[in-house]
Copies of this chain bind each other. A is one copy, B any other.
């Protein structure tokens, strides 16, 4: 049985390609809506914590980005019609880190920040050439085994210091390096 409003992961993944469920969007309609409405997104920065809750490493995916680059990025994705925020978080975390990642989505709905992505990179410094997206950003401890999905080329764990380095920032686009530093600041491990 599924919780109210929680689409099953399989249907959702298919739905992003060829949508048949009533009330959801075809690819064409999504393209059209993207030009006229801000979309709701979630960003999740996966972390490993020690037994006292201290963040000891940060996970970054290597993936093809909306701007055509191959970049490092946190877990990110759209919230579907009828879907709860925490179900969208679970779905995208499972999709990108595999079904055994055991993410611990925070109990509080309050995100640590809100990221506003715009097609114009000048508006907020966060850039998505496809759309205006308003993204709720969370730090999510994962305790299980992570296997990057077929969408992601790689998953790399690094220390907070490495994650905040200029070298890693250069491998990120669209302002995701800044999002990562905001996350590190929130959990008190920004160098």
Contact = CB atoms under 8 A, between A and B. Distances in A.
A81 B190 CA distance: 25
A63 interface: no
Copies of this protein in the assembly total 4
A172 interface: no
Interface residues of A, number: 63
Contacts of A80: 38
B36 A134 contact: no
B123 A114 contact: no
Interface string A73-110: 00000011111111100100000000000001111111
Given A107-B141, A111-B111, 16 more contacts: A5-B123, A5-B124, A33-B36, A38-B80, A40-B134, A47-B107, A51-B90, A52-B90, A53-B106, A82-B118, A82-B132, A85-B114, A108-B113, A110-B110, A181-B190, A185-B186
Contacts of A141: 104, 107
A62 interface: no
Given A37-B37, A136-B114, A178-B190, A4 B87 contact: no
Nearest to A191: B178
A28 to B, nearest CB: 12
